[in-house]
Structure 1
Amino acid sequence: MNALWFYVIAFILIWTFAVLFRDRLKIEIQGPLLLRRTKRMRGFIDSIASGHPGLWRWILNAGIPVAFFFMFYMLYLMVMSLQSIFVTPQASLIVPGVEIPGSPVYVPLGYGIVGLATVIVVHEFAHGILARVEGVRIKSIGLLLLAILPGAFVEPDEDDIKKVSPISKLRIYAAGSVANLILAGICFAFFFGISAYAIPAAFQADGVQIDSVVPGSPASEVLKPGLVIESINGMPTTNLTTYGMALKRIRVGEVITMDTDQGTFRLKTGRNPNNSSRAYMGIRTSNHLEVRGSVASVFGSTLPYALTYLEELFFWIFFLNFAVGTVNLLPAKPLDGGLMFEELLRYRLPERIVKPAVSYVSIFVILIIAVSIIWGTGRGLLMMF
């Protein structure tokens, strides 16, 4: 709940500041939306775009087919999710630092803020660079806040966009998500290198550590973050593999005995919010790592842990850029994927068919996302109180 209070306090402070100084700072208030436009940074974007325009076009020419692949693949996954949307929702609201029961993902607050910052900056700058490469003027650059959700935007000249060729429009529309996917790929390579080679060389697992406890879960009144689980019902849990084997033996409603580095605890399992047949404790875990003696003799017992922070950082930058980049490619306006889908249909179909087709698909996609988020996240939030 501490993270929720962080967001509540931040919301009050930011909106109070924005209302009091809206004229001095040129802040626009449009309902739940705060906007601040500026003409700065346009020169910086121009310099990047003019440096290697051919390279930018080449990257996006290769990226457009990738973007369309993810567009239709994500649409396929969404259609497939309809059969289990009220059992196992495929979409969930991800709020850094807030553990929501039933959500498949928990993003730590610090890593989440850094990761989302990279998503926003890379995405919007890519749109701006490709707009200038294609000769489209940038009217303004700015920051926005939807209630408490931050964002940024690059506002191209709409009249200029109408004048460019269809392939130029596709490059501009795809640029943001393609940039996110490229950054995701780079960060995944670093994450994989650290997790697959550096971490095993520097550390050995000696138990499973509780990273977070879901509010309102069976474990919330018994366990706490930082505990190292050594066994469950007498079965040793020396690492995540043996921990997973121990979990498979647990049944719904069973009272389990958990030995930890801080004593023995007993708790009664509940039903998994997304699968009623599976037992649920409400904890997220990772291997508890101990520096190998040979490494500690050279680097000490503290410095090697920097690898674990880098591993987490690269993972969350990868995850958030990949997740936001692919979701943004769904064929629903006003997402970039919706604009690309509309341009694709225009290539072969008349306008009288394109507009209704894009509208119907957009409503279908947004409706599924909304229902899945409301159902999945709503149930979880109710369990927290």
Structure 2
Amino acid sequence: MNLPVIRFVYVDYYILIAFLTFWGIIYVFRNRFQRYGITVYPFFLLWRKKSREYWFPKISKSKIFKIYEKISLPLGFLLMISGVSLIFYIIIELLSIRSNQIPAITLRPIIPGITIGLSQLPYILLAIGISVAIHEIFHALSATSNNVRVKNGGILLLAIFPGAFVEPDENEFNSSPTNAKLKIIAAGIVINLILALIALPLSFELPYLPSALSKGIEIVGVVKNTPAYNASIKPGYIIYAINGYRITTLDQLHELLYKYTNITLTLRLLNGTFYNISVNIPEHFLGVYVTYYIPEPLTWILTFFTWLFIVNFSLSLFNAAPLIITDGGKLLTEVLKKFLGENGEKISFYIQSMFLLIFVFAIFLSNRPPG
């Protein structure tokens, strides 16, 4: 039978040394980078350039984009509420869950080589780069739509994660009606939700998709002292058939394992050859960790769209939450300033600080040792 997939991730110290060496060289030559408009801080690089003042007026002034802005405004606040609710839900669940239970959802930072495998890094960087760029473009489009000039734009690099930004003219933005300012902020939030919905059908997140594309069942781990272990079955082998019945889904695997106590596995070995092996499973327990086998390049495509979904869904919720430096924090500030005047900005800062501490607490609970 299949058990939960476990993947062991370790830190590659050569990668860590290369990372520190790269940033060390960048920091040593930071004065030279400044000649090209690049500002360097420890593990942070920023390039700012004067931007075009108005972005694609034909698009930003169109009826379709105006409709998008009207929809994005209530959706932005709905996402804010959803982001805050999710943070509290995670905290409540993690505080009430037993030590032997697995939480349904947690908050874990993406740290290549520690919380995720290094093989996932190219997909993550590409997904983040695309998502952030489109996010900022929609801020710029909405600024143009509301007659606010864009002053600067640029790109940044935080550790290994790319980013982008646009800066509307501060005086024009501050003098704009509250409704216009809220639209400019919300336009960037909601586009991430749309990107997540676009990516979802092409990712591993939909249960039917892996099974529909599966060419077999891949063994990713073997439990010691089990029939699979005693038969010298290894991770990386792919189960193609049991007793002559072709297998492509986990349901088929379960059904055949519970139907027989003596099985003949048709396996594809690590060298690509096929091999039949008989295994006795008196308790209907094979002893393997499994997942769907999807051949490349379909795996690459699905992995990219999976990360595109994860990145954008996370941005749409947590960037909408009223945390310091998030778009959700800016939304809250503008609303409170509208009703409370200048005191609204101070109150917004205190609220954002409180929610930031709660968010950090949720991350702490998600990553504390079990027990």
- Indicate whether the TM-score tops 0.5: yes
- Structure 1: state its 5+ residue gaps: 212-221, 232-236, 247-258, 265-280, 291-304, 381-385
Structure 1 residues 240 and 60: alpha-carbon distance in aligned structure 2, compared to 1, 3 A threshold: farther
Aligned residue number for residue 229 of structure 2:
none
Cα deviation, residue 132, structure 1: 2.2
Equivalent residues of 1:11, 1:148 under 8 A apart? no
Cα deviation, residue 81, structure 1: 2.5
Cα deviation, residue 198, structure 1: 9.8
For residues 175-186 of structure 1, the aligned pairs below 5 Å read 175-186=187-198
SS of residue in 2 equivalent to 1:73 = helix
Which string of whole-angstrom CA distances, capped at 9 and with x for unpartnered residues, describes residues 303-332 of structure 1? xx4434323322221221111222100012
SS of residue in 2 equivalent to 1:167 = helix
Aligned residue number for residue 110 of structure 1:
122
Q: Structure 1: how far apart are the matches of 2:14 and 2:22? A: 12
Equivalent residues of 1:188, 1:315 under 8 A apart? yes
Cα deviation, residue 15, structure 1: 4.5
1:316 aligns with 2:307: yes
Structure 1 residues 378 and 29: alpha-carbon distance in aligned structure 2, compared to 1, 3 A threshold: farther
For residues 103-182 of structure 1, the aligned pairs below 5 Å read 108-182=120-194
Structure 1 residues 240 and 6: alpha-carbon distance in aligned structure 2, compared to 1, 3 A threshold: farther
Equivalent residues of 1:210, 1:229 under 8 A apart? no
Equivalent residues of 2:217, 2:248 under 8 A apart? yes
Q: Structure 2: how far apart are the matches of 1:206 and 1:99? A: 29
Residue type of the alignment partner of 2:358: I
RMSD: 4.2
Residue type of the alignment partner of 2:218: V
Q: Structure 2: how far apart are the matches of 1:282 and 1:327? A: 37
Among 18, 22, 44, the residue aligned to 2:33: 22
Equivalent residues of 2:135, 2:188 under 8 A apart? yes
Which string of whole-angstrom CA distances, capped at 9 and with x for unpartnered residues, describes residues 255-278 of structure 1? xxxx986699xxxxxxxxxxxxxx
Structure 1 or 2, whichever has the larger Rg, is 2
SS of residue in 1 equivalent to 2:323 = coil
Q: Structure 2: how far apart are the matches of 1:132 and 1:69? A: 24
Provide the TM-score with structure 1 as the length reference. 0.67
Q: Structure 1: how far apart are the matches of 2:159 and 2:69? A: 33
Q: Structure 2: how far apart are the matches of 1:107 and 1:143? A: 25
Aligned residue number for residue 46 of structure 1:
54
Which string of whole-angstrom CA distances, capped at 9 and with x for unpartnered residues, describes residues 109-164 of structure 1? 22112111111111111112212222222222112233343322112221111111
Cα deviation, residue 193, structure 1: 12
Structure 1 residues 261 and 67: alpha-carbon distance in aligned structure 2, compared to 1, 3 A threshold: same
Q: Structure 1: how far apart are the matches of 2:15 and 2:88? A: 36
Equivalent residues of 1:57, 1:171 under 8 A apart? no
